[in-house]
Amino acid sequence: MKQDISQDAVAASTDTQIVIAPHNERYITPEVRKRLPELREKAHWVYHRLMEHYGEPTWRAHRPPLDELIITTLAQNSTDRNALKAFRTLKERFPTWEDVLRARPEEVIDAVRSAGLANQKGPRIQAILRKLKEEQGDFDLSFLERMSTEEAEAWLTSIKGIGHKTASILLLFNFQRPTFPVDTHVSRVSKRLGMAPPRASTRQIRAIWETVVPPEWYYPLHLNLIRHGREVCKARTPLCDQCVLQEQCDTYQGIRRWENA
């Protein structure tokens, strides 16, 4: 019965023209472009199947934007648990962001050591704070609300060490902007499904998802893909026999969709 519901939903939701946003144009290769209709059909099927299986993720209240940005920075090449531990230590040692900015670099590095790559992340955090202080006069990111999504992402990624993934997470979660973050789980699941070529960059994968599903799906689909990657489509030992996406998974079906990509 669930399969019938999904097929009806897919048929209804794919009966529109595919439009590539200007900021995604250069990431959609000719090979991907000609496959967009089939990718959209697959993407819509995946969305509905994951929603049936996991349900719609609850929109949680997020931390203040700057807190979220710092935590996301700490989570790069780390776990959420270690990133949060480092963030708590940072706030315990330096009660205000001004204190963090004025601290000696080695003190900040020591405070965030539990997140890993502290020698990079400590200076990166101070660089974020310094840019905010110099350009805005305070540590408030609310000015991003007055920018377009592209302008806000450009501002964030102008900071060394802040890439499109970190920027898109902040913009989606804190400012409800139409961006589709691609982390390691989303990337892995996307490639195994055949939604993107094996050598596609995370920015290319983001462009594909943003092109083939509507913006109102970005948040739930992003979170459900992450959950599926963590619980089923694991990096080393994927539980293919338990996967609800078998029917449309290129890897499981032995389909080589991207041989020429």
197: left (phi over 0), alpha (psi -120 to 50) or beta: beta
Domain that holds residue 141: 65-175
Express as a percent the part of the chain with pLDDT over 90.
85
Q: What integer pLDDT is reported at residue 7 of this predicted model? A: 53
What pLDDT was estimated at residue 145?
95
User: Same domain for 196 and 142?
Assistant: no
Residues assigned a catalytic role: 165
Could you say which of 129, 154, 175 is where a domain stops? 175
CATH of the domain at 52: 1.10.1670.10
Q: Is the pLDDT of residue 55 over 70?
A: yes
Residues 22-30 have a mean pLDDT of: 95
pTM higher than the cut 0.85: yes
pLDDT band at 58 (very low <50, low <70, confident <90, very high): confident
- The number of folded domains in the chain is 2
Q: Burial of 199 by CB count in 10 Å (0-12 exposed, 13-18 middle, 19+ buried)?
A: exposed
Final residue before a domain boundary, out of 154, 175, 196: 175
Handedness of CA 28, 30, 36, 42 (dihedral sign): negative
* Same domain, residue pair 75 and 171: yes
132: domain CATH number?
Answer: 1.10.340.30
- Evaluate whether residue 15 is within a structural domain: yes
The answer to the question of residue 143 being in a domain is yes
- Is residue 167 located within the same domain as residue 69? yes
Residue 6 main-chain phi, psi, to 5 deg: -65, -40
Q: What is the pLDDT of residue 15?
A: 59
| Segment 128-159, tens digit of pLDDT | 999 999 999 999 999 999 999 999 999 999 99
260 lies in some domain: no
Please write the tens of the pLDDT for every residue from 90-130.
Answer: 999 999 999 999 999 999 999 999 999 999 999 999 999 99
Instruction: Determine, yes or no, domain membership for 42.
Output: yes
**What band does 1 get if pLDDT is binned at 50, 70 and 90?**
very low
- Residue 222 has what pLDDT? 97
111 and 94 Cβ atoms separated by less than 8 Å: yes
Average pLDDT in the chain: 92
| 123 and 196, same domain (yes or no) | no
Tens-digit pLDDT profile for residues 163-206: 999 999 999 999 999 999 999 999 999 999 999 999 999 999 99
User: What per-residue confidence (pLDDT) applies to 62?
Assistant: 76
Asked whether residue 261 carries a pLDDT value surpassing 70, the answer given is no
